[in-house]
Structure 1
Amino acid sequence: MAAFVVSPLKMGPLLVLWLAVCLSGTWAVDRGNFKTCDQSAFCKRQRALKPGQSPYRALLETLELTNTKLTLQLINDNNKVRLLLELYRLQGNMTRVKINELKPLKPRFEVPDVLINDPPTEPLSLLSRDENGVVLSLGADSQRLIVSAKPFRLDIMEGREVLLSLNSRGLLAFEHLRIRKDTISYKIKTKVNSMWENIKWVFSSKVDPEGTENKEETEAANEPAEGEEVWGEKAKEDEKVEDGMWEETFKSHTDSKPNGPSSISLDFSLPGVENVYGIPEHADSLKLKATDGGDPYRLFNLDVFQYEVFNPMALYGAIPVMLSHSAQRTMGIFWLNAAETWVDISSNTAGKTVFGQMLDYVQGSSETPQTDVRWISESGIIDVFIMLGPTPADVFSQYASLTGTQAFPPLSTLAYHQCRWNYNDQEDVAAVDQGFDDHDIPYDFIWLDIEHTDGKRYFTWDHHKFPQPKDMLQGLLDKRRKMVTIVDPHIKVDSSYKIHNEIRSKGFYVKSKDGGDYEGWCWPGNSGYPDFTNPEMRAWWASMFAYDQYEGSMENMYTWNDMNEPSVFNGPEVTMHKDALHGNWENRDLHNLYGLYVQRATAEGLIERSGGVERPFVLARAFFAGSQRYGAVWTGDNAAEWDHLKISIPMCLSLGLVGVSFCGADVGGFFKSPSTELLVRWYQTGAYQPFFRAHAHLDTPRREPWLFGPENTALIREAVRQRYALLPYWYQLFYHAHHSGQPVMRPLWVEYPQDTATFSMDDQFLLGRDLLVHPVTEEGARGVTAYLPGKGEVWFDVHTFQKHNGAQNLYIPVTISSIPVFQRGGSIIPRKARVRRSSSCMEHDPYTLFVALSPKRFAQGELYIDDGHTFNFDKQKQFIHRRFSFANNALSSRNLAPGSQFTTFSWVEKIVILGASKPSKATLKTPDGKESLLEFEFDASMSVLTLRKPGVNAGLDWTVVLQ
């Protein structure tokens, strides 16, 4: 969040009220500003439906099967409206199900730009068919899909096991588009239809006085047409009772709903599953809770002022992806819908039977656990991808094949960022920058919030406070440091402002329901909102980041998109009206996409300004599925409270599970002022989370790391230095996330999927496979209990090198300096021990390899190196990728990227082997046949062998033999 500094007389009463709340010191979310399910008409309507009463049946005579898809009509026996089901088997063990109206009155919104391509399909084949349903082969691993006709239901099976069922609880509900019954056009149409039916009846009675010959035809004529509902006395009464279908009021805002009710719902049953995860963003535990008796989890991008923890309220971003996990299998459900969505979760006992003749499987009355999930969206169509795993890594790859992988960030962005709302002027920036040098604390980025602009006009500078931005940026560049400036997607309505004038003249603003430019209040006052769903608007926005357009910008300046939900201070729920228009579509149809489009346009602008050479860095607060392709996210406006520190872990873990690895939380908490203990613990935690940035509210005291006394400065310095030493490992993890979609920060169950003890853990985590982190997040803690997984494995404390067995709860005494981190036995992790003022200053520095031996005296690891900032790693294959292996008392380095063209000046200056035995000698061998003896030290008490100065180039083959 940013500031608004202007005379209250110029603000308007709504903004004054907003600021009064923001700056009052109450620091608490007003839950009354945000809807519950009961206050959301479509959610309330859908949730009132009872399980087990599905009106839908499959019309098997309409089934068509081609090599790539199955199509089948469904009919709602209550109103005779037909739906069209399309089913695809996708490459990579996925199934796609789409359901839309067969003949909608107008097109329904289908989400664009999220899938990276049209997913390739695999053949479907028919196994059997009768009047009750059909059975299809899904190819892999004896997988079958059973379509039951009445009521309609889908079951996916593997062998005798039901993996997942759709509409097994009968909660498929599709509110068809219709004509409002109290409109003149509807009444005329109804009157004409009635007159026509009377004429036909008179004619038929003359031909057949008894009316028997044409009775069937007359009854058929009286059935409602496609797109209409039965209109009897009960239907009339229902519509009287049911409000919110054509208009809905929340607080002082009325949503006009010109297209009427259009919500959709579908339930999924997961036999044998007790654990589900994902659907960020919520400030809640990693394992999702049952929502019986409470509100469902809500997905609707909102600017929530100092959110509460441990509840299902919607926050800034929405990724409609859920993972299920059991000791036997991991699967995923991707609900591709960008409208407001609610997700209900319940658990019950399996006891379902399916299509008896075909299955040869009856669950009977067993007490097998089962999780049922119901998705409810306000508009659009049902478009769901079922990712069948079976492993966690498979699900990550499957999802990445649909929406892409994490953008590969510049190396420097993985280092430490210093931010505040706001650094006052150029002198303040220079003083803070120098403060880091004076206190020997490294950092790479300093950030400027909205006060650096000319009156909240983005792409500008306050020329009194920042008269020479290029001089400021050059000063940072001389120290190999960088800056981030904020560019928010609300534009000050001001005829003297170039950006506003161009957007208005080009017709690029979002429109109100009446066709004028949509305007609302945000930090500049009266603001317009660019329509980022328009590709022409995005291209224009991207062009504004060119160096000759964004005055004062340089190559070491990057971008922060805040408030991109979008935030509208005087709008319903502090966001845009749902009946605002993006071209032909309402905001209600695509609301959750807006933030993705803002971040995308900005990232494309940073790429274009460099001629396509440089990788961008863009931080955004709002996001959707696919946002990982465009940069980083953070967890928004948190508070300086211990619970907010704790919740940052499951929040980032949840994001990593659904593709967004580049996640972090405001270190120290945005609101309020942390105690020195909390601040130190937050630095220690943040140093081991992917995005590492300190940030603070305008109204809080300054909290640069050296302002809390020498002892606390030293503790913070040490945490930051640990981050810098690990940058080679962080960079390697992000390289893999970019290529395979595997999360950087991951729950323990991802690597230990059969260990039930890990399924609910969210106070510790893994970085990659090989580092386990258990931050201290309790006030006054004297110890923590970490779970070390893996029976038969060992873990080494990275600070003391003490070895511990896996599959145990380990109590660890802690002091204020403790950061419990363990390296897995069997791994090799590269570090850089020479920490300098910024990551760029460490580019050519040497590596230390930490080799942690497994009980079988084996270890393996990697090293990835490129130039750290361009796309040359991809376009020109300019990178180094090495495999380190320790086996049979020999450590070797081998090339994993033959043909790649890149050289490095870095070398290996030290090798530390944990769990080692003392050798009689250590010999370095190179491919040219040269051999040399290495100096070494052996600590018998800790079984640590240190090999000094092997001096080999980090990009070459070599072997160290211990004898």
Structure 2
Amino acid sequence: MGRVKSLCFLAVVLAVLGQSFCSDEDPQCSRDVPVKSRIDCHPQPGASQEKCEARGCIWCSTNMPNAPWCFFPEDSPYGYSLNGNAEKTAKGWRLTLNKLQALSLFGNDISPVVIDVEFQTRDRLRFKIYDPNRQRFEVPLKVESPSVAADDTSYDIEVADDTSHFRIKRKSTGTVLWDASLSDLIFSNQYLQITTTVPSTSVYGFGEHEHLSFKHSMNFATYGMFSRDQSPTPFANLYGVHPFYMCVETDSNAHGVLLLNSNAQDVSLSPNPSLTFRTIGGVLDFYVFLGPTPENVIQQYTEAIGRPHMPAYWSLGFQLSRWGYGSIDVLKKTVDRMHYYDIPYDVQHSDIDYMERRLDFTYDKVNYAGLPEYMQQLKKEGMHYVLILDPFISKDEEPGTYRPYDLGEEMGVWVNNSDGVTPAVGKAWPDGHSVFPDYTNPRTVDWWTQMCLELKDVLDYDGIWIDMNEPSNFDRGQYPGCAVNDVNNPPYIPSISDRALAQKTLCPDSKTYLGEHYNTHSLFGWSQTAPTFHATQKATGKRAFVLSRSTFVGSGKHGGHWLGDNFSQWKDMHLSIIGILEFNLFGIPYIGADICGFNYNTTYELCLRWMQLGSFYPFSRNHNAEKNSEQDPAAFGAEFAKISRETLRIRYSLLPYLYTLFFESHVHGNTVARSLMHEFTSDQKTHEIDTAFLWGPAFMIAPVLQEGARSVDVYFPEAPWFDYYTGNKVPASWLKNYATVDAPLSKIPLFLRGGYILPKQAPATTTTKSRLNPFGLIIALDDQGEASGSLFWDDGDSIDSIEKEIYFLAKYTFSKGHLKTEIVKNGYRGADSLKYNTITILGLRLRPHAVALNGRTVRGDAFSYQTNGKLTLWLSAALTQELNIAIY
């Protein structure tokens, strides 16, 4: 359906999309099926009354923008009914369904179908709808399925015989989380559809898209999901596929739902409120996560799909890149000016221009002569280096001259044509013919690992950035074109760009180790990420850094992501926050956007404000495109460099807190960056906010997102908040309200939430240096004068320090004027030489008369109190010894 704002004004657009122009609504058909409850019976373009009624559906005009004019009747002739009673199984229940009528929307309907319901854990339910007589493609993601049903679940299942409704309820409240009529179910060979109501309009997730708001519009918005090489554009399907959503119910409980399906698909959000899922293959494999808090939902989700990987500490430092340095001289010049201005800076990336003619596993020995030695030099200075690799391999080189192709050909590692034998040949870099490794094939994993090891022998990289792995192809399908068949031209193509499965990629009937590309296309990046993760670990002997453009459910276990080829525009800066929040929901917390924008030339003010925001992305990197102007923070002169330096120094000082958040994400599945709604779910105003965000529960970032603005309207939920810079407590009148906060060009507004303790460390120009510096604590008190927090610390890059318990973990509590430290784990000897040197307490109500450190009174000149309730204590105490402070 068309995504239009005004039915009348955009009549021409609607006509192009297959709808008639303006017409008054027919009240009779709206009584039969209310407009907000309509389910589109002609979701592809070209709807007409004749086509609609030929399908046994209702054609009825409406003035509601985007609402379908062709929709299913209340009693759909396409669905299923329950055959007999539910059958109890060891894991739960089994329902057998029979088709109601012979009528078919797209042909080849399947009957019977089965719903297997598994009570997997107390808070996780699975139900899979499938063909019991024929194996269909299923995503090869391993989700642990216990052999017996869980006891004492937080959910109930209800199947109403009279209405054939399949419902999932929350036991504690009776809220219906999922309500799908089996009479609306469609299950044919190449078209599967199911509709459910949802208990509120606070719906988040689904990806990857450039969503215009974090909270979705439920006004008949449709989003396609099919991985694609596509610069971020509203409503377009982008690089990855994440059919997961979270819904905050009207009573502030939250739940999540995953459709584990990799075929081309779309989802429509309707004001009923309801969701309609459509996919063109596989099975309907749903997982429901009961929460009840948003954080619980993501913990349960990542427990199922895989916990996020633990990033290396250095990868939390600032990173710099661009496509098109062009030569090692320009690269060196850029690095030198960053160092000249003392801008914190840990990682340098090289895009494809470092390669010889853009050939993977090579480097340009003319323009980048001396690159291996320069990489070694930077590493000796405490920096790290990341190289890009593309997934396609040129087949146009002379035999015996290009080992990646020769070895791959020998090992048979390519995606093949529909015959399953001859390699699929597409068009990619360098300009010519390329083949595509099939990363679902174990032989390909061996080949890729070998090539990464050989590259490491030449270029001493620390991490690998994998790009173009949707997979991208600079044509529609491979040579000589896609055959005309039902696989390449299915009866329904979801709401994806160009409405063509082969556009900018391979033909759907291409063959991979796991089956047809029709089924595995959106798994390409996911299947490449894990082998790259393990190859990088093997090559470096350290914790892997893998950054992937294409992602799928579970990708966060082995890599991070950036939001792709964004634009140097103010709106893109705002939308980056939404993307970062969504990928934390998707279990990929190591996420960022290209600071200052990838496409177009940036401006001084935009780039400066973006540097301020980007300093607080979990993955912080400035990167832009070939031939665009330089935009590194040292390129704009001394004042720009100074402001960037000071903002990045705040990031670096809080890296111990950020690193601890990533530890909690890796171990427990927590989010790292989260929305205000995530923490203040009962506050309805937070449900709409996507212009500010949090690190964990305690640190709010409220960036300037408008050109020329020197203030920001910040919403403060009900909690004590403190200005990061001054320690001043936010006035009570600001709570549960928007307040205008000063934001001169040199400053990004930052706030600390009362009730939390944040570890910090003196910053430096690299994490290699800052990790040697003294620690501190920021203690922001709540209204009861209490706070808590923790610190995780290890060597920062060992592969298995957590599994082997070679780490330090402290928990801090402050109550009744006393700070107590519990050393939970003291297994990392590298922490023994580190010390605390400052403790800052915010929100003290009375001036202290004395301060004691581990039972001994400290000198009066060792602490300072300000009238705003801020106490600063200077000390020297071992990090690995219990720290106890009393304030009198």
8 A Cα contact 2:809 2:824, kept in partner:
yes
**Which residue of 1 is the match for residue 490 of structure 2?**
none
Is residue 477 of structure 1 aligned with residue 379 of structure 2?
A: yes
Q: 1:464 maps to what in 2?
A: 366
Q: 1:37 to 1:314 in 2, by over 3 A?
A: farther
CA distance in 2, matches of 1:773, 1:420: 26
In structure 2, C-alpha distance between the alignment counterparts of 1:877 and 1:40, rounded to whole Å: 61
Q: Among 137, 148, 152, which residue is 1:109 paired with? A: 137
Aligned position for 2:472: 567
Residues in 2 aligned to 1:549 and 1:438: alpha-carbon distance in whole angstroms: 31
Change in CA separation of 1:921 and 1:62 when aligned onto 2, cut-off 3 Å: closer
Q: Matches of 2:576 and 2:217 in 1, distance apart?
A: 21
User: In the alignment, which residue of structure 2 is the partner of 1:404?
Assistant: 306
**Partner residue of 2:538?**
608
Residue 279 of structure 1 aligns to a residue in which SS? strand
Distance of 1:497 and 1:682 partners within structure 2: 41
Corresponding position of 1:324:
247
Would the alpha carbon gap of residues 397 and 878 (structure 1) be closer, same or farther in structure 2, given more than 3 Å must change?
same
**Post-superposition offset of 1:583:** 3.1
Tell me if structure 1 keeps the 8 A contact 2:80–2:185: no
Whole-angstrom CA distance in 2 between matches of 1:786 and 1:564 = 39
Query: Which residue is equivalent to 2:120?
Result: 90
Answering whether residue 882 of structure 2 is matched by residue 954 of structure 1, we say no
Q: 1:779, CA displacement in angstroms? A: 0.4
Q: Deviations over 1:656-703 (max 9, x none)?
A: 112111110000100111110000000000011111000011121122
Contact 1:329–1:390 (Cα < 8 Å) also in 2: yes
Q: 1:139 to 1:403 in 2, by over 3 A?
A: same
SS of 2:207's equivalent in the other structure is coil
Distance in 2 of aligned mates of 1:711 and 1:903: 37
Pairing 1:349-368 to 2, within 5 Å after superposition: none
Equivalent residue for 2:264, pick from 330, 333, 340: 340
Specify the alignment match of 1:923 in structure 2. Answer: 852
Greater radius of gyration (CA) = 1
Secondary structure of 2:503 counterpart: helix
Q: Is residue 388 from structure 1 mapped to residue 271 from structure 2 by the alignment?
A: no
- Computed over aligned residues only, the root mean square deviation of the Cα atoms, in angstroms, reads 2.4
**Measured at CA, do residues 898 and 629 of structure 1 come closer, stay the same or move farther in structure 2, by a change above 3 Å?**
same
Distance 1:736 1:51, change over 3 A: farther
Is 1:415 the counterpart of 2:317 in the alignment? yes
Determine if the alignment matches structure 1 residue 276 to structure 2 residue 215.
Answer: no
| Equivalent residue, structure 1, for 2:27 | none
Aligned counterpart, 1:432: 334
- Counterpart position of 2:755: 826
Give a deviation string over 1:183-232, Cα, whole Å, max 9, x none: xxxxxxxxxxxxxxxxxxxxxxxxxxxxxxxxxxxxxxxxxxxxxxxxxx
Residues 796 and 803 in structure 1, CA contact (< 8 A), matched pair in contact too:
yes
Please state if 1:38 is matched with 2:44.
yes
Is the contact between residue 440 and residue 837 of structure 1 (CA under 8 Å) also seen in structure 2?
yes
CA–CA separation in structure 2 for the residues paired with 1:922 and 1:577: 72
Q: Note closer, same or farther for the CA distance 1:608–1:433 as it changes in structure 2 (3 Å cut).
A: same
Structure 1: gaps (5+ residues):
1-30, 125-137, 177-261, 349-370
Instruction: Note closer, same or farther for the CA distance 1:446–1:158 as it changes in structure 2 (3 Å cut).
Output: closer
> Which residue, out of 164, 168, 172, partners 1:156?
168
Q: Partners in 2 of 1:408 and 1:76 — Cα distance?
A: 48
Amino acid at match of 2:536: L
Alpha-carbon distance in structure 2 between the residues aligned to 1:898 and 1:153: 54
Could you give the per-residue CA deviations for residues 356-410 of structure 1, whole angstroms, max 9, x where no partner exists?
xxxxxxxxxxxxxxx2111111110111101122221221121011111111000
Cα pair 1:844 1:904 within 8 Å, conserved: no
CA displacement at 1:813 relative to structure 2: 2.1
Instruction: Name the residue aligned to 2:866.
Output: 940
1:52 and 1:811, CA in 2 relative to 1: closer, same or farther beyond 3 A? same
- 1:906, CA displacement in angstroms? 1.6
The equivalences for 1:585-664 within 5 A come to 585-610=515-540, 613-664=541-592
Query: What amino acid does structure 2 have at the position aligned with 1:78?
Result: Q
8 Å Cα contact 2:462-2:545 kept in structure 1: no
- Mapped to 2, the partners of 1:168 and 1:286 lie a distance apart of 30
SS of the residue aligned with 1:397? Answer: helix
What's the CA shift for 1:314? Answer: 0.6
CA shift at 1:579, angstroms? 1.7
Q: Deviations over 1:694-720 (max 9, x none)?
A: 001112112222221322221122222
Q: 1:157 to 1:951 in 2, by over 3 A?
A: same
Kindly report which structure 2 residues correspond to 1:128-143, keeping only aligned pairs within 5 A, or say none.
Answer: 139-141=152-154, 143=155
> Which is worse superposed, 939-948 or 522-531?
939-948
Pair 1:168-2:73 in alignment: no
2:837 partner amino acid: E
Q: Alpha carbons of 1:898 and 1:698: their partners in 2 closer, same or farther (altered >3 Å)?
A: closer
1:538-582 alpha-carbon deviations (Å, 9 max, x no partner): 232123222x4544132x531110101111111232122212111
Tell me how far apart the structure 1 counterparts of residues 835 and 258 of structure 2 sit (CA, whole Å).
45
Structure 2: how far apart are the matches of 1:748 and 1:710?
35
Q: Which amino acid aligns with 2:226?
A: F
Question: 1:724 — aligned with what?
Answer: 652
Match of 1:27 in 2: none
Residue 448 in 1 paired to residue 350 in 2? yes
Structure 2 partner of 1:852: 780
User: Gapped runs of 5+ residues in structure 2?
Assistant: 1-15, 18-41, 58-67, 103-109, 477-501
Q: TM-score, normalised by structure 2?
A: 0.85
Residue 814 of structure 1: aligned partner = 743
CA distance in 2, matches of 1:593, 1:769: 33
Worse-superposed segment, 442-451 or 534-543: 534-543
Sort the Cα spacing of 1:66 and 1:954 in 2 relative to 1 into closer, same or farther, 3 A: same
The aligned amino acid for 2:876 is G
| Partner AA of 2:95 in structure 1 | L
CA distances 1:573-620 after superposition (whole Å, capped 9, x unpaired): 21222121113621111211111111111111011224xx41100111
Report SS of the residue matched to 2:84: strand
| 2:74 paired with 1:52 | yes
Work out whether 1:542 is the aligned partner of 2:449: yes
Q: Take 1:852 and 1:655, find their aligned partners in 2: how far apart are those partners?
A: 28
Greater shift after overlay, 440-449 or 899-908? Answer: 899-908
**Aligned counterpart in structure 2 of residue 699 of structure 1, from 627, 630, 636:** 627
CA distance in 2, matches of 1:910, 1:404: 38
The equivalences for 1:747-758 within 5 A come to 747-758=675-686
What is the one-letter code of the residue matched to 2:260? L
**Aligned amino acid, residue 675 of structure 1:** T
Q: Percent identity?
A: 27
For 1:39 and 1:662, the matched residues in 2 are separated by 38
Q: Which amino acid aligns with 1:938?
A: S
TM-score, length-scaled by structure 1:
0.79
Report the secondary structure of 2:338's partner residue.
helix
Contact 2:835 2:876 in 1 (8 A): yes
Inter-partner Cα distance in structure 2 for 1:436 and 1:428: 13
Asked whether 1:72 is paired with 2:95, we answer yes
User: Does the CA contact (< 8 Å) of 2:242 and 2:586 recur in 1?
Assistant: yes
What SS does structure 2 have at the residue aligned with 1:61?
coil
Over 3 Å counting, the alpha-carbon distance change for 1:280 and 1:392 in structure 2 is same
| Partner Cα separation in structure 1 for residue 826 and residue 766 of structure 2 | 31
Change in CA separation of 1:903 and 1:847 when aligned onto 2, cut-off 3 Å: closer
**Alignment partners' CA distance in 2, 1:276 and 1:289:** 6
